[in-house]
Amino acid sequence: MIAYTITGDVTIGHARWFLTWCTDADIPEVRTLATTIDRWWPEIAEFIDTGHHNAKSEGINRVIKLVARNAFGFRNADSQRLRTRCVTTRRARGHLRTA
């Protein structure tokens, strides 16, 4: 999915206004939000400019870690590898229906 992009000057202007507003607020959570956004701004700006993200690979990594956590009963590494492969394919998750 490609994000809606606007010019860089407008984006930077909105970001400055928002961060200033958050900094001036007397709410600790909003200040924390401003700090987090400021820290992650290069990555956020990159997403706004390109529309690319790594959500798919992050989701697959999460599933692999979950399977590895539940794989204590496997007797060898081949069984664990096969289980990970099965869980991370679309057919195993029900996306492809075969007749």
> Are residues 14 and 40 both part of a single domain?
yes
Flag whether 77 is in a domain: yes
Flag whether 22 is in a domain: yes
Cα–Cα distance measured from residue 89 to residue 99, given in angstroms and rounded to the nearest whole number: 18
Number of domains observed in the structure of the chain: 2
> Are residues 14 and 42 both part of a single domain?
yes
Residue 71 CA, chain-centre distance (Å), reads: 25
Q: For residue range 64-90, what is the model confidence (pLDDT) as tens digits?
A: 888 777 766 667 778 777 877 777 776
Flag whether 78 is in a domain: yes
Helices within the chain (DSSP H only)? 8-24, 28-50, 55-69, 77-88
DSSP 4: P
Quote the pTM value: 0.47
Q: Which domain holds residue 38?
A: 8-50
